[in-house]
Amino acid sequence: MFTGIIAEIGAITALEKRGDWVMTLAASKALLDSLSLGASVACSGVCLTVIAHDVNTFTVQASAETLSKTTLGAWQVGTPVNLERALRMGDELGGHIVSGHVDGLARVVDRKAEGDSVRFRFEVPAAFASFLAPKGSVTLDGISLTVNEVEGNVFGVNIIPHTQTATTMGAKQVGDVLNFEIDVIARYVGRMLDQKGGL
């Protein structure tokens, strides 16, 4: 489990496309010192398992299923990646509960400055519209964000200057796609309503 509070931006340093893709990422010493084989790391919102690491990098593996449901299939050497180490018992829950299990892709449909912040609007598949709510939580590329407004399957978020520089969000433009995870509470409430035929 994760919180959606990005620790740092890493980058792909090597990519091997054989069956499952094997990706090596550069990261800080602080993050690498906390890793062990089998550890979970959220890479732009995708929970991946560490299969090797050294003093400068760590390596993860992504299955065909993961590649088909996320942005990972478009990653290349040099691609910047939001990184978060798995939550430890007793850690501060600064964002919201994030599983690292991506539901689909969100596409940027609008970006405009609002003061020092940037207002983004994202479109997600229509099947996810009922899981979005104003003031609810959503995860985009691993970042815990608060939904400002919802219109069908389009929602808006406000990105403050810190988030623009501490994550990859500041570089996103109209047409870009991001990994999208619905709030875990909304997921289970939706499942319960489906089983009961709604309220």
**pLDDT digits over 20-31, tens only?**
999 999 999 999
* 96 located within any domain: no
Task: Find residue 41's DSSP bridge partners.
Answer: 48, 85
Out of 85, 114, 149, a domain closes at: 85
Buried/exposed 102-131: b ≥16 CB within 10 Å, e otherwise? bbebbbbeebeeeeebbbbbbbbeeebeeb
The predicted pLDDT at position 40 comes to: 96
Is residue 115 in some structural domain? yes
Q: What is the mean pLDDT of the chain?
A: 92
Give pLDDT tens digits for 5-16.
Answer: 999 999 999 999
Q: How much is the pLDDT for 55?
A: 93
Q: Which domain holds residue 55?
A: 8-85
CATH value at residue 62: 2.40.30.20
Number of domains in the chain: 2
Q: What does the pLDDT read at residue 97?
A: 81
> Block means of pLDDT (10 residues each) for the chain, length 199 residues?
94 93 96 94 97 96 94 96 87 78 96 96 94 94 96 97 97 98 73 60
Place of tokens 């939550």: 87
Q: What is the distance between the alpha carbons of residues 77 and 41, in angstroms, rounded to a whole number?
A: 18
178 with 114, same domain: the answer is yes
Q: What is the pLDDT of residue 196?
A: 66
The pLDDT value recorded for residue 18 is: 81
